[in-house]
Amino acid sequence: MADGRPALGADVDARPHLFGCTPADVVATLASAGFAADIDDARRLLARRLSGGLDTLPPGTSVRRTFRDAVATHFNDRDLSVAERVRDDADGFEKWLFEHPDGATSEAVRIPLQRPGRYTLCLSTQVGCAVGCTFCATGRLGLTRNLEAWEIVAAWRAVARDLAVRDPTARVTGIVFMGQGEPLMNLPNVLTAARVLSDPCGGRITASNITVSTVGLRRPLEAFVAKAHPYRLILSLHSAVPERRARLVPIAARQPVTALLPALREHQRQSGDRITLAWTLIGGENHGPDEVTALCDTFGDLPIRVNLIDLNRWDEGDGRRRATDAERIAFVQALHSAGIATQRRYSGGAGRHAACGMLASRRFTDLPGTAAPDPWPAA
């Protein structure tokens, strides 16, 4: 604590955090402390603190004073600090950089949708990332720690509160866990956050509008699918050619896509929708005929959709470039000819460091680091 901050990942308050709780969680925690809580009090309190974005309850609230005092005693309700905000005027993407109580930083990106006043929020699940995708700014940070569920929810709450002040009719209607980190490496906290964000007293976001992204970890993916969660799933593939994918996504050398197919097939059966594959288009690298052939050979009759994303440049010295319009169009035509559906996802915010990992990577070297364990146990 030489700089006055606890070590990264240290517990600064051992109490459970209110923002990581559903009403049932609040009641259960208070019951374990000997307080007989009423579920309606818990619903009303969380609806005001989370959905309403209030720091304190106003006079005359219908939540009993004894319950409010019990919550204040047994729960932490600290907010995250906003370290930086940048908005790209060219596309409306807005990046938030949060500082956590231990000095760690994480990002969230507010993404405007076609309908005015509606937004998707891209949330981080870890401080840094261990996957090391070579085209991603977050990949060079390394992994420091997982985010707690309340930290994930607190990022949403900060953005939602800001929207409510600017425009009371605006709201976040979708969540994508595609920011810093690998969500399946932090699955319990991600699922808890998703539960709170989809709760009527929490984020009030339709569960089917919450998306979990992964580069592909077999055992956590199997655990996710086994619970038949209502959330969407995206596999960050980027290449179907094994050797190329191993260069772009280093984990691929240890956990091949073929090992994920049974779980993906079961998820497709549950959802009834195509399996979505995130694909960052890199000029001259991952859009040739061999990729189409490899996709067909790997996924066979499993219905898939390739979600095409333009490369956001963050390292001018890496020799990579965005795919040209001609390269992208040729790839899309080849995919369609093979019966593979596509969707283009706009990659925004690069003009103001609002692409994933850009803000955090500018500040990360100023923070004390911690050694992370090997995140890839045997498959």
Q: Enter the pTM of the model.
A: 0.88
Give dist(CA 273, CA 260) in Å, integer: 17
Q: For residue 70, what are the domain limits?
A: 18-74
**68-82, 126-140, 167-181, 261-275: the lowest-pLDDT one:** 126-140
85 with 63, same domain: the answer is no
58 with 92, same domain: the answer is no
147 with 48, same domain: the answer is no
5 belongs to a structural domain? no
108 with 214, same domain: the answer is yes
CB 56 within 8 A of CB 187: no
44 with 180, same domain: the answer is no
249 with 113, same domain: the answer is yes
Among 94, 107, 151, 285, the one annotated catalytic: 107
pLDDT greater than 90 at residue 372: no
4 belongs to a structural domain? no
Tell me the per-residue pLDDT of 96-151, one tens digit each, with 9 for 90 and over.
999 999 999 999 999 999 899 999 999 999 999 888 888 887 777 788 999 999 99
pLDDT at residue 313, rounded to an integer: 64
378 belongs to a structural domain? no
- Please report, in angstroms and rounded to a whole number, the separation of the first and last CA atoms in the chain: 37
pLDDT class of 347 with cuts at 50, 70, 90: low
Query: Active site includes 151?
Result: no
pLDDT at residue 103, rounded to an integer: 93
Alpha helices in the chain, H assignment, sequence order: 23-32, 39-46, 65-74, 149-166, 187-198, 218-226, 242-248, 261-271, 289-299, 325-337, 358-363
pLDDT at residue 8, rounded to an integer: 58
Structural domains in the chain (count): 2
pLDDT at residue 375, rounded to an integer: 39
41 with 125, same domain: the answer is no
Beta bridge partners of 232: 211
204 with 313, same domain: the answer is yes
pLDDT at residue 317, rounded to an integer: 55
351 belongs to a structural domain? yes
pLDDT class of 378 with cuts at 50, 70, 90: very low
CB neighbours (10 Å) of residue 122? 23
pLDDT at residue 130, rounded to an integer: 85
371 belongs to a structural domain? no
Choose one of 30, 49, 74: the last residue of a domain.
74
353 with 205, same domain: the answer is yes
353 belongs to a structural domain? yes
190 with 291, same domain: the answer is yes
User: Over the chain, what is the mean pLDDT?
Assistant: 87
**16-20, 117-121, 291-295, 315-319: the lowest-pLDDT one:** 315-319
CB neighbours (10 Å) of residue 337? 9
Give dist(CA 139, CA 146) in Å, integer: 15
Hey, what are 219's tokens? 């055992």
Among 129, 136, 201, 356, the one annotated catalytic: 356
263 with 153, same domain: the answer is yes
pLDDT at residue 360, rounded to an integer: 47
28 with 65, same domain: the answer is yes
Choose one of 42, 74, 106: the last residue of a domain.
74
CB neighbours (10 Å) of residue 339? 9
